[in-house]
Amino acid sequence: MLVNKEITSVELTQDVLSRIDEVEGDVEAYLTVTREEALAQAEAVDKKIAAGEAISFLEGIPGAIKDNICTKGVKTTCASKILEHFVPPYDATVMTKIKAENPVILGKVNMDEFAMGGSTENSAYHVTHNPWNLDCVPGGSSGGSAAAVAAGTAIWALGSDTGGSIRQPASFCGVVGMKPTYGRVSRYGLVAYASSLDQIGPLTRDVTDCANLLNIIAGHDEMDSTSSAAEVPDYTKSLVEDVKGLKIGLPKEYFVEGMDPEVEQAVRTAIKKYEELGAEVVEISLPHTEYAISTYYLIAPAEAATNLERYDGVSYGERVDGEDLVQMMTNTRDEKFGEEVKRRIMIGNYALSAGYYDAYYLKALKVRTLVQQDYTEAFKKVDVIMAPTAPTPAFKIGEMIADPLQMYLQDVCTVPLNLAGLPGISIPCGKSSKGLPIGLQIIGKPLAEETLIRTAYTYEQSQDYHKQMPELGGKH
């Protein structure tokens, strides 16, 4: 529509900003809205179009950024009081790549503090609500990103995924969310939670937007030593409807006891649809899946405890004074970190402490290797693996916050991918009887994002979930 001059970028941006004004009071997806900057960016694109210049896919299109991705000159808080006034002096690599495309950036969206949580209830500022049912969580930790896209208060968003933090909120909010292969997208400028697990990825309304966004953010970065040097293909070439002969692995371990029957039904119905479209289903086993959660909740907190040492009231961030240096650091961390962050720091330091390192952390690293080997074996027989993204649809706000173990178990289907560094995408595949979205997770081999996009796109085109919007503010 922009290219055809049916609308201007300013009109589009004003429309999305008025949508924010209309529903943000209910959804609360944003932490910072950069209204004036967004309109200035839109005006610049309109001038370009008026001058007859060609524009790229993202140019003039409004989107939102998770608040743990550094944005030069715009507050980046990680939804924590300890970074309440932190304004980065530089852009994350993904922001440099995104800005080169001249999009409209609407602001920063809410998350669980330092990306620790699965419901966006751990934000130090406010709880984000699921646009499909305001009494429910949007998932986490990229809940603000998913909720904004679902509510129409952003056309696209960036999130980060350490144990399912893009895919699970995408599932809960009925949008598309992809965690690329570890290293496919630079982590430079992503505020670290668990460095060997974190990965930035897109949240969009459909698979086409996901492929286009991935084209922009993927690629090698010399500022990130873990970044993959593999060439980046054009992911939009994978937007074809074709799964004939595709071998789909169905791991018995992912259809776990306690899974919501409506979730299992929706996922199995989607897999049947794949069979109708010409794919072949193969039963597989990933025997070490049952240890993945325990492994993740040793490795991730251990890395988090180390990464969060830097917030000591000295270099940057907030400070709470004390009688001496130790007291100042203690007061700062005690007052400014939330409960979940403190819990994970303590678990991590315990796992790394003398006498426990071998028993816990080292053992977890060995089990991580076994989880990776399970996938390597499975992918000798199949092209992709399919499973539910989350064992339930979105749960009620407050339902699990007092029971962290119950919350951790929500990650049972998503965590193994991060341990193995594999790519995964969540696409909507149904609704519960209460009208809450259900997500299908498609898992690929390392750097097989093209296969995931083709597989997801083929199913999406046979459905209309990507065209559905929640009823908010009295209109769709």
In a domain, 259, yes or no: yes
Closest CA to 79 of 13, 204, 16, 165: 165
DSSP string across 374-431: HHHHHTTT-SEEEEESSSSSPPBTTSSTT-HHHHHHTTTTTHHHHHHT--EEEEEEEE
Whether the per-residue pLDDT at 476 is higher than 60: the answer is no
Across all residues in the chain, what is the average pLDDT? 95
C-beta separation of 115 from 82 below 8 A: no
In a domain, 333, yes or no: no
Q: How far apart are CA 226 and CA 185, in angstroms?
A: 10
Q: What is the pLDDT of residue 404?
A: 76
Residue in the block written with tokens 């692995």:
249
Q: For 150-174, what is each residue's pLDDT tens digit?
A: 999 999 999 999 999 999 999 999 9
Is 66 a known active-site residue?
Answer: yes
Q: How far apart are CA 226 and CA 196, in angstroms?
A: 9
Q: Which residue segment(s) compose the domain that 417 sits in?
A: 2-288+369-467
Q: What is the pLDDT of residue 315?
A: 85
- Distance set, CA 380 to CA 120, 292, 375 (Å): 37, 21, 9
pTM: 0.96
Peptide bond into 141 cis (omega under 30): yes
Is 186 a known active-site residue?
Answer: no
Q: What is the pLDDT of residue 473?
A: 63
Q: How far apart are CA 104 and CA 196, in angstroms?
A: 31
In a domain, 347, yes or no: no
Residue 380 CB neighbours (<10 A): 7
DSSP string across 90-123: S--HHHHHHHTT--EEEEEE--SGGG--SSS---
Annotated catalytic residue, options 9, 80, 123, 141: 141
How many domains in the chain?
1
- Distance set, CA 441 to CA 37, 47, 115, 386 (Å): 36, 41, 21, 6
Q: How far apart are CA 92 and CA 16, in angstroms?
A: 25
Cα first-last separation, the chain: 20
Q: How far apart are CA 312 and CA 329, in angstroms?
A: 5
Annotated catalytic residue, options 142, 160, 165, 432: 165
Whether the per-residue pLDDT at 474 is higher than 70: the answer is no
The enclosing domain of 277 has a CATH number of 3.90.1300.10
- Distance set, CA 80 to CA 63, 83, 330, 341 (Å): 22, 6, 16, 9
Q: For 310-324, what is each residue's pLDDT tens digit?
A: 999 998 899 999 999
Annotated catalytic residue, options 9, 66, 160, 186: 66
In a domain, 355, yes or no: no
Is 273 a known active-site residue?
Answer: no
Q: What is the pLDDT of residue 475?
A: 45
